[in-house]
Structure 1
Amino acid sequence: MAKFDMGAAWDDTVALLKSHTTLTGTIAAVFLFLPSLAVAWFGPTPVEPPVGATLDQVIATVRENVWQMLPYQVVVGLFAMVGTLAILRLWLSRAATSVGEALSFALRLLPTLIVLQILVGIILGFGFILLIIPGCYLVGRLGLISPIISDRGVYNPLDAIAQSWAMTRGNGWAIFFFLFLVTVVLVIILMIITGVVGVIAGAGPGIGHIVSGFFESAVGVVATMVTIAISAAAYRQLATGAIPEVFD
């Protein structure tokens, strides 16, 4: 059984991010950046609770914000699913793959991705309800689903879950902590950039809203690309037991 090596996985993550940059950048711009930017610029303005709001009023405000953003987030999520799988296809394909072929592949598997999103959401939801720790462990065990689908063309959602579960046996916590540490760093960077941009451009309507929305979307895409590369690197390592060369 292969043991997950965080250092080797990070090296492979960097190598993946440097490969096919023109092609993956094009997909990321269209399917990750532009939908997020459109929502940031043209989506509904969050509702603020009244001054001195009670707990019930705060909860009602949060609920209203969730419901008004839900349709936009669903659309952004669908674009992200297609873009993520297409990028993984470019990184993991053994043969030369064009952007069109990668997108066509991702679109064919979109129904599988939607079902998986629901199933994994339910599984992780139960895991986090059970005192959080089981949910963290499940994040590591189910973290290779997207790379498995993109590399092997798995159409059966349950089969994809089973393969991820088998491949991460003995490595669930290592994968989770790797994802967690990188996520913490990315969140800190995002908060710093958002704060700096907010101070310089302001957060009110007008130019401040436009600039802050642009930078938040851009940094979010970079963070997403890093996360996608991490999952691909973990998959490549555990699928082969060694770090392969980047497929050019």
Structure 2
Amino acid sequence: MSTAWRDAVSMLNANREVMLIVAGIFSFLPSLAASFLAPPMQIAPAGIGDTGEDADLIMQQLVQAYTDYWWVFVLMMLAQSVGFIALLALLRDTKRPTVGEALKIGLYGFIPYFVSYMLLCLALGLAIGIVATIFSLTGVMALVGLAFAVGFVAAIYVMVKCSLTPAIVAIEKVYNPIAMLVRSWKLTKGNSLRLFGFFVLIGVVYLVISMIVGMIVQALYIALGQASVAAQVVNGLVNGLVGAIATMVFVAVLAAVHHQLAGPSTEQVSETFE
């Protein structure tokens, strides 16, 4: 996985300008727009919430926000998914597509990618639900809890196995949802544990950075006034910037992992002997 990380850094450096443009349009701007379209959550004053009241308030606000402004988050998810696939195409497509061509790949590949994701979630949900129902018939709650725990671990395993699906769409141009999942499953064979550790490491680093940035933003939020336009602008800019950078890094990592596991494409091999 160290090789994949070096390749990812190399891809980022070599394609920095074009990635900044696409990530800015399809990750930064949607996140910034969402911060204005959806109302910000009210931050509880320091010292309040030791009994968990602030956590309940935040949860209620999250549920209310997603209920009232679901269309904002759907549009943001659509734009970011298209941009994600387009970035993968820009990094690894041997035909060196232009930004416009990469965006067409992103638009064309979004629907099969979305369908494959929904099929995966549906299959996991049904499998876990059936197993939990069978165990619940025993009347032993410990067995039900065990079933959900095993199901959670199995779900993580399956998600890791199918993690290369967007790369299959963008790079290999496979648009059959089932074929995409099968291809990702085969590519990750024998590397699931290492991929899991690699993704967890990246996730932990992202979480730590997000927490630090979040504390800084919260301090600015309180200083500027939670209801002020300036606070919304700062919140949107910071969240959008962090999200765009994270998208660029993860796209590069996924492209590098795919390159390492799938090897050079047929076109690359043929070009070598021309």
Matching of residue 211 in structure 1 with residue 234 in structure 2? yes
Give the TM-score of the pair, scaled to structure 2: 0.77
Map 1:75-114 onto structure 2 (within 5 A): 75-114=75-114
- Match of residue 119 from structure 2: 119
TM-score, normalised with respect to structure 1: 0.84
1:154-211 C-alpha deviation (Å, 9 max, x unpaired): 1100000000001101111211110111111011111102212332453612212221
Q: Separation in 2 of the partners of 1:152 and 1:232?
A: 11
Pairs within 5 Å for 1:135-174: 135-174=155-194
1:72 equivalenced with 2:69 (yes/no): no
Distance 1:216 1:86, change over 3 A: same
Pairing partner for 1:29 from 24, 34, 37: 24
Q: Percent identity?
A: 29
The answer to whether the 8 Å contact 1:138/1:172 transfers is no
* Number of residue pairs matched by the alignment: 238
CA RMSD of aligned residues (A): 3.0
Tell me if the contact between 1:85 and 1:106 (Cα under 8 Å) persists in the aligned partners.
yes
1:7 paired residue among 2, 7, 25 = 2
Provide closer, same or farther for how the CA distance between residues 122 and 209 of structure 1 changes in structure 2, counting only shifts above 3 A.
same
**What is aligned with 1:133?**
153
Q: Could you list the runs of 5+ residues in structure 2 that have no partner in the other structure?
A: 130-146, 269-274
Moved more, 225-234 or 196-205: 196-205
Contact 1:82 1:107 in 2 (8 A): yes
- Residues 188 and 90 (structure 1 numbering): CA distance in 2 closer, same or farther, change over 3 Å? same
**Structure 1 residues 24, 56: closer, same or farther in 2, change over 3 A?**
closer
Larger Rg: 2
Tell me which residue corresponds to 2:134. none
- Of 20, 40, 44, the residue aligned with 2:39 is 44
- Measure the CA separation in 1 of the matches of 2:216 and 2:58: 28
Please state how far the C-alpha of 1:130 moved relative to its aligned partner.
Answer: 3.8
C-alpha distance in 2 between matches for 1:234 and 1:228 = 10
The Cα offsets for residues 14-64 of structure 1, whole Å up to 9 and x where unpaired, read as 111112222221111111110111111221344899x986x9998765543
Q: For residues 153 and 10 of structure 1, do their structure 2 counterparts lie closer, same or farther at Cα, with a shift above 3 Å needed?
A: same
Change (3 A) 1:20 1:116: same
